[in-house]
Structure 1
Amino acid sequence: MCVGAGVSGLTTAVSLLREGYKNITIVAKHVPGDLSSEYTSPWAGASILTVAKHDDLRLQEIDMYTMKEFKRLCEEVPEAHVMACPGIQYCQEPGVPGQDVYWVRSIYKDVKKISDNELVPGTAYGYTFETFTANVPYYLAWLVKTIQELGGRIERGTFESIADAIEHYKEADTIVNCTGLGSYYLKDVQDHTMYPARGQTVVVRAPHIKTQHYIDGNNQWTYIIPRSDGTVICGGTLDRENRNTAPDDAITADILDRCYKLCPEITHGKGVSAFDIVSINVGFRPGRTGGIRLEKETRRRSNGDKVKVCHNYGHSSHGYQSSWGSSAKLVELVKNERLSKL
């Protein structure tokens, strides 16, 4: 069984079912269709990018695997609402001397350097590339449908500990922990390397926007991510201090101002006041010092039975980008008795 119904938990369940595992049940407080700041996945921009560093080979491998699966979904599974989408990336911080800042060619298609005279002011380098975006509400619904078609189930429920889940589901021989920020609070996990990173975004209607745009800095991200239904995600924030679950009007104004400066075409050059706002959203990304936890341990029920407990959480702002790759590694943990960590 899997605990947690964010994109990581849902994708893990699909991956296990595809590998032939039976009786997969997802148990979660929130499920697709719910809208809560506690439930991060519905608020994502879900552009399939990489946030791996030049030397983070594990995350690069995870992201490459994920990219291949999203390419397949785009080409073969229209009901998943994944679309090909070109991108423009600018970076404010210069690259590390001696390292190739364009190493992302190993993950993205058609990476091309932006010449220095075409860079946005205040940025050190940039490139264009090809990747994908997922229309989150539809994509999550497709994951749920896929789980059900493969014989899995989704239930609402909460537990104070992994031990409680083990005792409640007495026939489960494997528990998969995909609780994200919940892993900070589970009594027998208490992973205090987890932290919430507040994200505020604005959804606008702009069907003419077909390219995603980014400016990445150390303390701020600006992004414009088109979706298949003509809406666009404008962002954003990455705030470890602000715990306010309500949208902040000043932050909304700042986001729209930054996005307009990055791409005036978004309102046809008519200024910030011309944005056609659909919604303003707040979610808390499940950040983790040290990156994604992919580990396996053995626990026992009160009757002495052994239960495998596998962890797949801590995806921060890249839950969709790393979803299929980290789920594939989770399946490998479940299958291989000799592995305890990936």
Structure 2
Amino acid sequence: MPKVVILGAGVIGLTTAIVLRKNGFDDITIVGKYLPGDDLTHEFTSPWAGASIVSFAFENKLLQDIDLISFQEFERQVKEAPEAGVMHCPGVHYSEIEDPAAEAWAHKLYTNTTSIPKDQLPKGVVFGYKFQSFTMSAPRYLSWLVANVQKLGIAIERGTFEALSQVADHYDGADIVINCTGLGSLFLTDVQDKTVNAIRGQTVLVNAPHIKTQMYREGPDVYTYIIPRPDGNVIVGGTLDYVNKSTVADPAITRDILKRVYELNPELTHGKGPDAFNVVSQNVGFRPGRKDSVRIEKQVRDNHGKKLTVVHNYGHGAHGYQSCWGSAVKVLELLNDGVQLKAKL
């Protein structure tokens, strides 16, 4: 049985390990510079995520396949694994941009999806729909994944490497290295993917336990969202900034976010205005984006005369959580020579 090392201990690395272990790979080690439960750092993306389970696949067949698998798994978790903290959550999506493909995909993917009549749309919105999906708390979900990793006998260790070949050398006998490093793929010396970019996202965590509906308003230059969590807190946002690399929350951006989300749903503060929020924290995270979308690719390399199989699984941008289980299945299929499988999740 091959020895597998997964580089990266975020949501992508953890779920990849779980899927491989449940489908016949017995010798797996996860290694990461940062591990879930560490103090927050902007070099480790997963704990910062809003973790809304909505799809950005639209016309991308690979992402559609991935998201369909993930959504089925989240449905199972709601029913069978309440400790994960995934919950059903109704949603409303407004768009200021005509996008028939996005609307068609929503009707295919989500449950209870209904179009909103044009005369009921807010000013400036060209189409909208109601749907049902899921939400979660990212830190709680990561803790649950780690518990599953440990239960399955998967090793999880701390380590820093400059190259995938270095990982294979350190873990003597490693046959397979899986690259789940996200933004780290820009810096690994034998990857150096220059199409990877850090997309700054600023959000605000507010306490609003009465909010039970996720809401989104998409425009040409802005994406506004309200994501309830199971604990009564709500993530509101946000920004998609490819230029600003500051790790400090900008008070002006926070004010703009609170103004926008209040306009989207005044019930957040019971109609008392954008200055009446119960703010828990202001957050800055960096999404691991990639110009050409997610990279799920298998390579066979020579490593000191020995065959080394490398599988890349990174570049998920803002859709890491909703894509994680499906991406893991695609990695499994690559390791099984591309054969499509009904994987155990």
Does the pair score TM above 0.5? yes
1:253 matched residue in structure 2: 255
Choose which of 259, 267, 270 in structure 2 pairs with 1:268: 270
For residue 102 of structure 1, report the CA deviation from its aligned partner.
3.0
Q: 1:157, 1:115 → 2: CA distance?
A: 54
Gaps of 5+ in 1: none
Show CA shifts across 1:295-330 (max 9, x none).
11112332x121111000000000001111111000
For residue 101 of structure 1, report the CA deviation from its aligned partner.
2.7
Asked whether 1:306 is paired with 2:307, we answer yes
**Quick check: 44-53 or 220-229, which moved more?**
44-53
The correspondence of residues 52-67 of structure 1 with structure 2, limited to 5 A, is: 52-53=57-58, 55-67=59-71
Q: 1:218, 1:24 → 2: CA distance?
A: 43
Q: 1:242, 1:127 → 2: CA distance?
A: 32
Letter in 1 for 2:20: L
Q: 1:44, 1:87 → 2: CA distance?
A: 18
Gaps of 5+ in 2: 341-345
| TM-score computed with the length of structure 2 as normaliser | 0.94
1:192 matched residue in structure 2: 194
Give me the CA root mean square deviation: 1.4
Q: Deviating runs (4+, > 6 A) in structure 1?
A: none
For residue 17 of structure 1, report the CA deviation from its aligned partner.
0.9
Choose which of 42, 47, 51 in structure 2 pairs with 1:42: 47
- Aligned residues between the structures: 335
2:82 matched residue in structure 1: 78
Q: 2:31, 2:37 → 1: CA distance?
A: 15
For residue 337 of structure 1, report the CA deviation from its aligned partner.
7.1
Choose which of 164, 167, 170 in structure 1 pairs with 2:169: 167
Q: 1:157, 1:24 → 2: CA distance?
A: 15
Letter in 1 for 2:329: A
Label 1:338 to 1:209 Cα distance change in 2 as closer, same or farther (>3 A): closer
Letter in 2 for 1:185: F
1:323 matched residue in structure 2: 324
Letter in 1 for 2:142: L
For residue 219 of structure 1, report the CA deviation from its aligned partner.
2.3
1:226 matched residue in structure 2: 228
1:91 matched residue in structure 2: 95
Show CA shifts across 1:134-174 (max 9, x none).
21111100000001100101111111111111111112111
Letter in 1 for 2:153: G
Question: Conserved in 1, the CA contact under 8 Å of 2:333 and 2:339?
Answer: no
Show CA shifts across 1:196-238 (max 9, x none).
1000110000000000000012321100000000000000000
The correspondence of residues 174-189 of structure 1 with structure 2, limited to 5 A, is: 174-189=176-191
1:297 matched residue in structure 2: 299
